[in-house]
Amino acid sequence: MTRLSPGLWSRRIAEELLHWIKEDAPYIDATTEALGIRDDCAEMIIRAKSSGVASCTSEAAEALELLGLRVLEHVESGQWFHEGNVVMRIRGSARDLLLLERTLLDLLMYASGIATATQRLVLMARRLNSRVRVAATRKTPPGFRLCAKLAFRHGGGDTHRWGLSDALIVKDSHVEIIGSLEEALRRAVERKSFAHKLEVEVSRPEDAVLAARLGADIVMLDNMSPDEVRQALRLLEESGLRDKVLVEASGGIGPWNIAVYAASGVDVISTSYPFYHPERIDLSAEMKRVEQC
């Protein structure tokens, strides 16, 4: 087998796997130790019991190689698998495989659930607006940001910003502290790096025009109804500013209304729905003893 060349994400996932395993087995794996299982060679086959979009499989495969295991096959991240398919086949120390079995299954099931839910949203949105991007929010479970954002991307979505360091987003909380949207934008435009985009959250259609005039690159229409979104787009068009900004709709968007927002003509729809409502993906692990690791 050609050895995988690990990337930064895979190294991070290897570190996080070790952290999660420590949570599951803070001292020892009591059962494995009691049974005297140590350096026996084994193979673990992860098989799909439902269909879905694979996520974090490629990155986890590289991470497992870094941890001294051999990944003989796996479904690539972003590819569909179906009930009965082998999602991953791993060979190595039986003690190590038993230690990580539950943690690895949980990671792959949850990430694949996010990816599958994301892909369904993307398909729903693009039936009405072929150019719209469906983007992730930062509402990820603490400690799972990397895998959750990767899963959103594997489902065909856009990661949006990974964290607070990626871009400037002036939100209502900032405006409340500073005192006015105009002053907040003045400071942001004056101090932002040339490498950063400036996004501004607004809650009224007329403020979308103000934000665009004051230098925003992206205008986020926060918790606006579809009618208000269309009004904001119309005001930007009438002001000659529509082509100067990206327009993002955000807040309370899921499968029940994403098509309506996509049809409005926005450039981006951001949602946390797949993080809170991942598809139910079921994977199981089969273990067998082998002669060689």
Closest CA to 77 of 60, 59, 55: 55
The one catalytic residue in 59, 96, 201, 279 is 201
- Indicate if 192 belongs to the active site: no
Q: What phi and psi values does residue 259 have, to the nearest 5 degrees? A: -65, -40
Tokens of 118: 């994301």
The one catalytic residue in 12, 126, 171, 213 is 171
- Cα 155 to Cα 149: distance, rounded to the nearest angstrom: 10
The one catalytic residue in 22, 139, 187, 234 is 139
- Indicate if 171 belongs to the active site: yes
- Cα 59 to Cα 12: distance, rounded to the nearest angstrom: 9
Side chain identity, residue 61: A
The one catalytic residue in 95, 102, 138, 213 is 102
- Indicate if 102 belongs to the active site: yes
- Cα 249 to Cα 254: distance, rounded to the nearest angstrom: 12
The one catalytic residue in 222, 248, 267, 279 is 222
Strands 41-48, 86-93: pairing is: antiparallel
Q: What phi and psi values does residue 285 have, to the nearest 5 degrees? A: -115, 130
> Please, which residues have CB within 8 angstroms of residue 269's CB and are 6 or more apart in sequence?
125, 132, 133, 134, 135, 248, 249, 250, 253, 258, 261, 262
Residues designated as active site: 102, 139, 171, 201, 222
